Each structure stands twice: as structure tokens, then as C-alpha cells.
Chains A and B, each alone.
Chain A
Amino acid sequence: MTYALAFDKLTLGYDRHPAVRHLDGEVADGSLTAVVGPNGAGKSTLLKGVTGVLRPLAGQVRFGTCARNDVAYLPQQSDIDRSFPISVVDLVAMGLWNEVGGFFGLRAAHRARVDEAISAVGLTGFAARSIGSLSGGQFQRALFARLLLQDARLVLLDEPFTAIDPKTMVDLLGVVRRWHGEGRTVIAVLHDAEAVRAHFPETLILARDLVAHGPTAKVLTAANQFRARQMCEACDGPPHDCGKRAS
């Protein structure tokens, strides 16, 4: 099987405290994978490790079918400063970074693509609005428009459907399915098990260590979710207990 991404004994963390430990596995090319697990399980950390924002403490991320710089990343909304005075169109246009770079201007063709992306996520008429004036759902749509422009082989989504209205979730799920249909690899951190079962064929359950990885129907079981919760609770105790109580 060709893989988009492979993890070799990957350990990621902050200040030498591991948040993801000894992760092994492959993400198949063109797959649509949900990463689930309790709070503090290292889900967001894993995505940051793949983007390169966070360097591995040990092990490595290997890129297969997609290049290291062919990755689009949706951070959590809380990581973005929405009080900054920037318009929707400027935020979305940043998706063209890999083509335009940090220092050159946008050409007419670029501007047309930005407008197209904005209308594709249903934000027509909002282009000139400042990002601070958008609702949570509208802002998430703007971030998806930015992802559309990045046109990457690998798309990483960190809690894309948290705190947004149901209509927006349906629309954005449509965008995710479109990417999947185009053969892109999509990895999304999600909390809603129902949404995972309904829309994501593959699931990776994380509780700092890997709990399970495979087809959603097989992997996303009550037993695995319970085990993940137990492993995470064990990790919140003294370091030497970590993982022992669960086993």
C-alpha cells in the first residue's frame, strides 16, 4: 500500500514532556482519517508534528506520496488572534503563500481564485469584512477557503467542527468529502464520534500512545474509547504511573 505519511516511533512533546509517545503507523494515500481521543491525548500535538511546527523529541514523520511542503493545516480557532484588523479576503489570500511567497503582490488571476474560494465556502459578500466581525461558523468557512487555495495533497484539520452551527458543519463536511473525492489525504481531529462514524472511513485513536488505527467500523468501539480514557487518566497521575494503571 502506498502511504501519504508514516510515523516511526514518533514521540512529540513540550518542554521534554511527551504528549505523543512511540507512535508507529501509516496513513494511506487518499484516505480520510479521523483522529479521536480524550482531552490531552496528543491529537493536536500530532498534527503540529506533521506540519513541522513541533520537532519530534524522538522518532520521525516520513512523507510518502506527498511532499513535506504540500501540506495544508487548519489550526484551532483559539490559536488565531481574531482581534487583529485584517479582512476576510486578506486572510483567505494567505492560502496562496506557497505560490506567491511572503514578499510579492497578487496578480489578477490570484485575486480571481481568492474570490472563487470565498464563494465556494458561501462567504460571498463578506470579503471586505474584518475577521473579528464574523461568527464562529463564518470564520471557520473563511479558514476553509484559505485551505482550498493551498491546494495541498495532505490536509490537516484541527477540530474543524467545534463550536460551529449545524448548517456550516454540513457545508464544510461537503468540502472535506470533495477533497477526499479528489484523492487528497485528509486527517481531522474530531470529538464527535457520530460524525466520525458517518463521514470518516478511517480512525486513529490516540491516548498519548496509539490505542487503535484502522477502519472506523472496526476501531471506533466503546471498548477502545474506554481504554483511551483510562490511559489518559493514568497519564495525568505521577509520571511513573503513566500507562500502568490502564494495562
Chain B
Amino acid sequence: MWEFLVQPFAEFGFMRRALMGCVAISVGGTPVGVFLLLRRMSLTGDAMAHAILPGAAVGFLIAGFSLGAMTLGGLVAGMAVALLSGFVARATALREDASLAAFYLISLALGVLIVSTRGSNVDLMHVLFGTVLALDDAALILLCGIASVTLVALAFFFRPLVLECVDPQFLRAVSGLSAVTHFAFLALVVMNLVGGFHALGTLMAVGIMILPAAAARFWAATIGGLIAAAVAVAIASSVCGLLVSYHFGLPSGPAIILVAGVAYGMSLVFGPLGSLAAPLFRRRVNI
């Protein structure tokens, strides 16, 4: 048991780094994922994750696999798409979800094209699916930095953010923080997606934010409980995913996301709140 659970991490530095990186993403990104879910923006998060690709690809084109260049490119592209899709929705007849879908498809195609012109298929796979087993010190510092900034920002903006979700009209009536909160939240989403992209790639980054948040919905009924449950599911998925990938020789990123998917599936069926089995629980309690 010890050998199965602990030895891979005790023996190999790259496993410890991967675990550390995943824990940082779980702690920072998952609470943002909970708010994405509560604001019914899960698919927006997915679209924005794809939108990061061309920015990261331009960074790759200029400086190869440079952490700074790809991070900066991803941040710029992500924010640009978030702001542009909002602008298009306001200024034209197209709704925000449709304009976001248009932008992210264009971004994805552009990103794949840019990476392919300079790099190999292996480089493309790295960008799309991440390199969680190859996180270096700088990447770890970046991921931990993003998690810290996210937690501080969420603590600071918690009340306006909750109010913006529950009753945006009221927030607009009592304060001018509505727009600031919205954009700060979008910035946090983009930042965490860029962080997640280094470990899990553009296609998977949003998975560790949304799947644990969706699973938590079946376990907790308060916002604090949701965040705690989601972070716990994300960390557990990271540990299990890394162990599965180590022992069975599977790619790590997809393994982590799949384990989170299994956690979501189990919650969907067995969770105490609103799951498929929840009515059975209730009937038994009533008898």
C-alpha cells in the first residue's frame, strides 16, 4: 500500500513537482470554477481556455517553450477574447455565448496553425495537453503565485462577487462595483486558465476548475462548503490521477481530469444533495 501510494512521490522529484503544481491549481483555480458554475458560465470558461491558445502560441513562436512569453501571450489573448466577446454582444445583435463560441473556434484554429508552423506535433501536444510531469521551479512558482493572488483577490471581492451572482441589479443600485467585480472575476478566470495551461494544456485546464465544482454541488449547500468540497475533490483527483498515470503508464493530464470525471460521476449518483440517489436517502430518513 505504502509503495503504491507514497513511493512514487517519495522517490521521484518530478512526481512531487507535478503534485505541488496540481495542488496549487486546485487551491486557486477550483474556487474560481465554483463561481463559474454558479454564474452559469461553465462553458464560457471552456471557451476562454481555448482562446488562450493563440496567445501562448505566439509566445512559443517568438521564444520557444518560454514560461514568461507563453504566460504573457496567454493572458493577453484570454483577456482580449473575454473583452471582445462582451463588446460584440453589447454592440451587435449576437448573444454573448455565440460570440464567445465564434472567438474561441477562431482562436483554437489560429493557435494550432501557429504552433504547427514552427514546432512539431509533439510541441502541439504539449501545448494542447500540458506537461504536468515536466514542471520546473519557475513554473511551480508561477502556479503558486497565481493561486495566492487568486485567494487574496477572492477574499477581497467575495461579497461583491456573491451579490453580482445572486442579485446583480441590487449591487448596481447600491454600489459602482458591479463592472469592476465582473472584470476582476474574468481576469481571475484567465489567470487560472493560463496557470492550468502550463500543467494540463489548453484543452484540459478548465477541467480541474469545473469538474470538482460540479461534483461539489452534490455534497454542499453553502458557498463555503462548495468551495471546500471542490478543492478537496480537485486535490484528491490530482493525487489519484498522478498515481494512476505512474502505475499504469498513462498520460498524466488526462488521467487527472478523468479521475475528477469519475468523482463527478460518483457524486452525480451518490451525493446527498440533488443526486440521482438523493430521493432514496430522503425516503429512508422519513420512514
Contact = CB atoms under 8 A, between A and B. Distances in A.
Interface stretch (A45-53, A192-200, A218-226): A45-53
B222 A94 contact: no
B165 A52 contact: no
A48 B221 contact: no
Interface string A68-110: 0101010100011100111100110010011000110000000
Interface string B24-41: 000000000000001000
A80 B172 contact: no
B166 A102 contact: no
Contacts of A91: 166
A247 B222 CA distance: 55
Contacts of B166: 80-81, 84, 86, 91, 131
Interface size class of A (residues with CB under 8 A): 20 to 34
Nearest to B222: A85
B156 A98 contact: no
Given A85-B222, A97-B175, A53 B159 contact: no
Interface in B189-231: 220-223, 225-226
B174 A97 contact: yes
Given A85-B221, A102-B175, A75 B170 contact: yes
Contact of B169 (A79, A84, A103, A150): A79
Contact of B160 (A71, A75, A102, A130): A102
B162 interface: yes
B159 A75 contact: no
Contacts of B170: 73, 75, 80, 94
Interface in A139-181: 150
Contact of A85 (B175, B177, B226): B226
Interface of A: 48, 51-53, 69, 71, 73, 75, 79-81, 84-87, 90-91, 94, 97-98, 102-103, 130-131, 150
A37 B160 CA distance: 34
Interface in B145-173: 156-157, 159-160, 162-163, 165-170, 172-173
B174 A130 contact: no
B231 to A, nearest CB: 16
Contacts, number: 66
A130 B221 contact: yes
Given A86-B166, A94-B163, 4 more contacts: A53-B172, A84-B162, A85-B38, A86-B223
Contacts of A90: 162
A102 B159 contact: yes
Interface of B: 38, 156-157, 159-160, 162-163, 165-170, 172-175, 177, 220-223, 225-226
A85 B223 contact: yes
Ranked nearest first, the 7 interchain pairs of A and B with the lowest CB-CB distance are: A51-B173, A75-B169, A73-B173, A97-B174, A53-B172, A84-B166, A102-B160
9 contacts: A52-B173, A69-B174, A73-B173, A81-B165, A81-B166, A90-B162, A97-B163, A102-B159, A103-B159
Contacts of B175: 97, 102
A150 B177 CA distance: 18
Nearest to A53: B172
A192 to B, nearest CB: 23
A130 B222 CA distance: 8
Contacts of A53: 169, 172-173
A6 B188 CA distance: 42
A134 to B, nearest CB: 13
Contacts of B157: 102
Nearest to A69: B174
Contacts of B223: 84-86
Contacts of A84: 38, 162, 165-166, 223
A81 B35 CA distance: 13
